[in-house]
Amino acid sequence: MKANKCINSITLFIFRSNARGMQYGIGTYLHELTEALLSNTNLKIVLVSYKSTDVKEISILKTTDRHIEVKIPQPLIPIKLNNAFDNKYASTVSKLLFKMIPQNEQVIFQFNYIDDLPFLLKVKEYFDFPVISIVHFAHFQQIFEGKIMKISGLNLDKPTDNIEFTLSREREMYRQSDHIVSVTRYMKDFLIDEYGINPDKISVIKNGLNQKNNEQVSEKETTEIRKRFGFGENEIILLFSGRIDTCKGINYLMEAFEQACIKNNSLRLVMLGQGSIQDCQERIQSCFGKVTYTGFLPRETVTEFYKIADIGIVPSVYDHCPYSVLEMMANGIPLIMTRINGLDELLSDEECVFINPVISSEGDISFSIEEITGSILSLAADKERRTRLAAKSYETYMKRFTAAGMAESMHKLFYSLLKQRKPVAENETSQGR
C-alpha cells in the first residue's frame, strides 16, 4: 500500500506488547501521548495490543470514532516461542491491519519495545508508510546495570549468546526504523555512537504529562488527607514513586533514610509502588515504623499522596525521563535526584538537589550514603528552600514537559515524515558495534 502525498488526516497505529514496562513508564507514556494527540481532530489512533491475555479472540474496541483498540490474543495452545512463530504471528497481525486501512489513508506506524521488531519488519514489507520507534531506555542498562563500558567487545553482527542477541535485535529495530524518537539526548548519542544510527533520523522529544489539576492544595485538605492515611501533621513525608527495584537505587535510599532518622525523628518515608520489600526491610531495622509501603494504588489515591508529600526522592542508578519525576514536578514537590545520564537533562542545580554518582574505573555506579543522608536532612530542615525548588521545577514542567507540547512535536514529526519519505541509510549497516 502506497503513501499518498496529499495529507488531510493521519491514522497512527501504535503497537503495544504485554511486556512489564507497559504497566509502568511506557504504559504511562502511551496513555499521555494518546490523550494529547487526540486533541488534533485530523488524527485517528489505533492501538494494536498483541499477545493480549485478557481476550480469547480478536477484539476491536471503539472508544470514539478516532480512538480504537485492536486486541489480538495469544495462541490458545501453548507454543514454544521462536523466530519462525514470531514472524508468522506478526505476518497475521499485519495482514489484519491491511484490511483496516482505506485506500487513500495516510498512516504512521509507531513501535515502543524490542518485542515489536517482527511486526516492524512485516509492516515495512506490506506497507509504504513511515515507521517510527520510540526509545524509552536501552537494554544494556538492564543487562549491565547501567555500565556502558560493558558493551565493549560484544559482537552484535554475529551474536553468540543471549546478551549479544538481545542488543543485536535492539540495534536492528532502530536501524530498520524510518525515524527514531528518543526521550533524552543521552540515548540519542548512544544510538549514534554504539549502534551507528544516522543522527539525521533521530529526534529528541521529551516525555510529557497532562496535569489536569494544578490548584494549590489547602492546608485543611492536606491535614485531612494526612489524618486519613495515619500520618502526623508535623511529619516530613519523603516520597518515592516507582518500582521497588535495585536499579531505582532503593538500597541507597534505605540506608540513607535510616541514618537520617537518627538525627530527625519527624521523617517518614512512603514507598509508592510495587516490588520486593525484603531487601528494604533488612536495611532499615531500626526504623520499621517510619516506612510505609503502599503497593499498587489507583490513580486517585496516588494523587492524594502527591498532595501531602514534602520531598520527592529519585535515587536511580540508571533512568531516562521517568514519569515519577514529571508527576512530582507537576505537583509542586521539591526533588532530590541522582545526577545520572537522562535525569540530569530534566532539571538544573537551581531546580532540585542532585546526588553525584561515584563511577569506578570498571564503570560501576554507586552513591554516597552520607551525601544522600545530608541532602534529606538539609531539605527537610529548610521549608523555604523546598518551596523555592518546587516553584522552579513546576515552572520547568510547564515550559518543557507538558503532554500538549509532546503531542505537538510528535504531530509535526508525523507530517514531516509523510511529506518526505526517507529510506534507511545504507551506511548504518556498517557503523557502530
Task: Judge whether residue 425 has pLDDT over 70.
Answer: no
Q: Residue 351 corresponds to which cell in the numbers above?
A: 531546580
Residues 48 and 174 occupy one common structural domain: yes
Which band of pLDDT confidence, cut at 50, 70 and 90, is reported for residue 19?
A: confident
Q: How far apart are CA 169 and CA 147, in angstroms?
A: 19
All three cell numbers of 63, joined, read 472508544
Residues 242/273, Cβ–Cβ less than 8 Å: yes
Kindly state whether residues 199 and 229 are assigned to the same domain: no
**Mean local confidence (pLDDT), 15-33:** 84
Cell matching residue 305: 499522596
Q: pLDDT grade, residue 364 (50/70/90)?
A: confident
Tell me, yes or no, whether 282 and 379 share the same domain.
yes
Same structural domain, 365 and 425: no
pLDDT, tens digit, for every residue of 88-112?
899 999 988 888 887 778 999 999 9
What pLDDT is attached to residue 372? 98
**Residue 91 counted as domain residue:** yes
Give tens-digit pLDDT for 297-331. 888 999 999 999 999 999 999 998 999 999 999 99
Determine the pLDDT at residue 33: 97
Give a yes or no: residue 173 inside a domain: yes
Q: What is the pTM of this model?
A: 0.90
Would you call 200 helix, strand, or coil by DSSP?
Answer: helix
Tell me, yes or no, whether 4 lies in a domain.
no
Q: For 117-176, what is each residue's pLDDT tens digit?
A: 999 999 999 999 999 999 999 999 889 988 888 898 899 999 999 999 999 999 999 999
pLDDT at 427: 53
If asked whether residues 233 and 356 sit together in one domain, one would say: yes
Residue 357: beta bridge partners? 367
Mean pLDDT of 412-428: 74
- pLDDT value, residue 125: 93
Q: With respect to residue 248, please indicate whether it lies within any of the assigned structural domains.
A: yes
Largest Cα–Cα separation, the chain: 69
The answer on pLDDT for 424 being more than 60 is: no
Candidates 21, 20, 1; CA nearest to 11 is 1
- Is residue 158, in this structure, part of any structural domain at all? yes
- CB-CB contact of 35 with 12 (8 Å): no
Residue 136's domain spans which residues?
10-209+404-430
pLDDT of residue 422 exceeding 80: no
Q: Is 58 helix (H, G, I), strand (E, B) or coil?
A: coil
Same domain, 165 and 260: no
Nearest to 113 by CA among 29, 195, 44, 196: 29
Q: How far is CA 360 from CA 111, 148, 162, 316, 364, in A?
A: 35, 12, 26, 17, 5
Each residue's pLDDT tens digit, 45-94: 999 999 888 888 899 999 999 999 999 998 766 555 567 888 889 999 99
- Tell me whether residue 99 is in a domain: yes
- Determine, yes or no, domain membership for 281: yes
What is the C-alpha separation between 59 and 49, in angstroms, rounded? 10
State the average pLDDT over residues 280-290. 75
C-alpha cell, 239 = 516520597
* Average pLDDT along the chain: 90
In this structure, the answer to whether residues 172 and 266 fall within a common structural domain is: no
Q: Is residue 214 part of a domain?
A: no
Is the CB of residue 119 less than 8 Å from the CB of residue 16?
no
The pLDDT of residue 275 is: 81
- Same domain for 365 and 252: yes
pLDDT score for 76: 66
Residue-wise pLDDT tens digits, 188-228: 999 999 999 999 999 999 999 998 655 678 889 999 999 99
- The confidence score (pLDDT) of residue 273 equals 85
Same domain, residue pair 49 and 194: yes
**Same domain flag for 59 and 148:** yes
396 and 409 part of one domain: no
In this prediction, what percent of the chain has a pLDDT beyond 90? 68
For residue 362, the model assigns a pLDDT of 84
**Tell me, what CATH number does 289's domain have?**
3.40.50.2000
Residue 429 pLDDT > 60: no
* 411 and 387 belong to one structural domain: no
Provide the domain count of the chain: 2
At residue 214, the pLDDT reads 59
